Amino acid sequence: MSKLMSLVSEGAGKVNPVSVAEYVGIGGYAGLRKAVGMTAEQVIAEVKKAKLLGRGGAAYPSGSKWEHLLHIPETPKYIVCNADEGEPGTFKDKLILGRLPLKLIEGITIAGFVFGAKAGYIYVRGEYRKIQKQLIQAIENAKKENFLGQNILGRGFDFDIHVISGAGAYVCGENSALLNSTEGKVGRPRIKPPHLAEVGLFLQPTLVNNVESLSSIPAIVLKGGDEFLGIGHPDSGGTKLICLSGHSARTGVYEIPLGKVTLREAIYDPEMGGGIRGGKNLKFFHLGGQSGAIGSPAQLDTPYSYTDLRKAGLSVGSGAIVVMDESVSIVEYLKGVTEFFIHESCGKCVPCREGNKQLYAILQKLSVPGAANEGDLANLRRLVTTMTAASFCGLGQTAAMALNTAWKHFKAEFEANVSKTAAAAAA
């Protein structure tokens, strides 16, 4: 039996993305209709029962986040959707934004209703310019049908959604940087605390959630938190959109129930990844984005759930699964990862701005036979510790994650080029 699901992606590719009638035809807006008959507390109770963990990468429990915001008295409150999707190897939010935007719009509207917000913002990466235009069209159409705008569904509730464009900066996916950028400023991260739930957009209480998280809300309201939980893992309900890329034979987005599919199935099942292109062997896989962990074939039987992956030293992150075959050198791969972080570092703090450059310099040495010595390896370890502990935001804190995890699986390959004579001379 197929393990693929379509809880969040139901209808994607089958309906005209901007047609409200077609969306309603596949059961769309039933979640909102039900939600407006409930109290805010009741909706949040379902989100808590569902154990929805944030799909943007940090896996923060959405129910707790919503409850926290509900108890903050200041108004107005804002709803912000993170559609920056900048993690290389991640293209699942694009599936919803491009093919099922009304599902996201419905989810944001439910959030707007729960928090009594007047305005929501969808911050979309600048590279998705065509999708932005379509999203604006879908919002306009929802307004015409009274699913947005004034007196929504005759419930005396007014809510509008604005689309904001990024302009090419990965760090803007970090939630505080995202808010700065939404305000028309440079997207450098803010210091926390204060928590964004208290001091967020325009210094007002704000909810920031990922596209996939918000698009799970209609199903949670409609099915109830318990049923949603049952679909996934006891610690984290529902499904996850995974993105297979690299040397996977069947690259693409697949929706799987959390905890019920192993990494091996995700990568090798003929309905999902279908194995490695050209019949080659798997060397490693990189989960959750460039900031995620690298795993080895020995870990393939780990179930794909937040809990199981964490226990194995891996993580779900954004849902990216970058598959690399035996032809790829681990040091060369990590040079690519580090180049990305050098380019995307905002430069605000030294451990990240300088640390990534120094990491790259050492990796460069490690890729040339005899160029590195034992001292370089020790420095590499120190850099990883410093960057992880002392960087200002998540970008610098996780930039060395790939290196740190790859080290465990491929120690011999790292050490292969280290000069023994240089080591002896240094001693």
Task: Compute the CA torsion angle 264, 265, 267, 271 (nearest 10 deg).
Answer: 160
Give Cα 31 to chain centroid, integer Å: 24
Q: Is 56 in the site for ligand FMN (CB under 6 A)?
A: yes
Q: What is the nearest approach in angstroms of another protein to the Cβ of residue 327?
A: 8
- Among another protein, ligand FMN, ligand SF4, none, what does residue 358 contact (CB within 5–8 Å per kind)? none
* Ordered alpha helix ranges (H), 164-293: 175-182, 211-223, 225-231, 263-268
Interatomic CA distance for residues 354 and 347, integer angstroms: 8
Least distance to ligand SF4, CB of residue 356, Å: 8
Cα 399 to the center of its chain, rounded Å: 15
Which CB, 209 or 373, lies closer to ligand FMN?
A: 209
User: Is 240 strand, coil or helix?
Assistant: strand
319: contact with ligand FES by CB under 6 A: no
In angstroms, the CA 88 to CA 239 distance is 21
Q: Name the residue among 329, 301, 330 with its Cα closest to residue 314.
A: 301
Instruction: Please count the other Cβ atoms lying within 10 Å of the Cβ belonging to residue 150.
Output: 11
**Quick one: which of 46, 85, 106, 308 contacts ligand FMN (CB under 6 A)?**
85
> Does the footprint of ligand FMN cover residue 269 (CB under 6 A)?
no
Binding mask 336-375 for ligand SF4 (x = CB under 6 A): ---------xxxxx--xx----------------------
Residues from 194 through 223 that contact ligand FMN (CB under 6 A): 208-210, 213
Nearer to another protein among residue 29 and residue 333 (C-beta) = 333
| Nearest residue (CB) to another protein, 35 versus 95 | 95
Q: In whole angstroms, what is the distance from residue 379 CA to residue 368 CA?
A: 17
Q: Which does 345 bind (CB under 5 to 8 A by kind): ligand FES, ligand SF4, another protein, none?
A: ligand SF4
Kindly state the helix (H) or strand (E) to which residue 13 belongs, with its residue range.
none
* Least distance from ligand SF4 to the Cβ atom of residue 408, Å: 24
Give the one residue of 53, 79, 171, 172 binding ligand SF4; rule: CB under 6 A.
Answer: 171
- Under rule CB under 6 A, which residues in 249-278 are in contact with ligand FES? none
- Read off φ and ψ for residue 92, nearest 5 degrees: -90, -35
Residue 22: count of CB within 10 angstroms of its CB:
15
88 binds, among ligand FMN, ligand SF4, ligand FES, none (CB under 5 to 8 A by kind): ligand FES
Angstrom distance (rounded) from CA 127 to CA 118: 28
User: 54 or 295, CB closer to ligand FMN?
Assistant: 54
From 11, 88, 295, 303, residue interacting with ligand FES (rule: CB under 6 A): 88
Which of 351, 417, 412, 420 is closest to 385 using CA atoms? 351
Per-residue binding string, ligand SF4, 218-257, x by CB under 6 A, is ----------------------------------------
With helix as H, strand as E and coil as C, how does 330-363 read? HHHHHHHHHHHHHHHCCCCCHHHHHHHHHHHHHH
Residues near ligand FMN (CB under 6 A) are 54-58, 60, 62, 82, 84-87, 171, 173-175, 208-210, 213, 393-395
Residues near ligand SF4 (CB under 6 A) are 171, 189, 345-349, 352-353, 391-393, 395-396
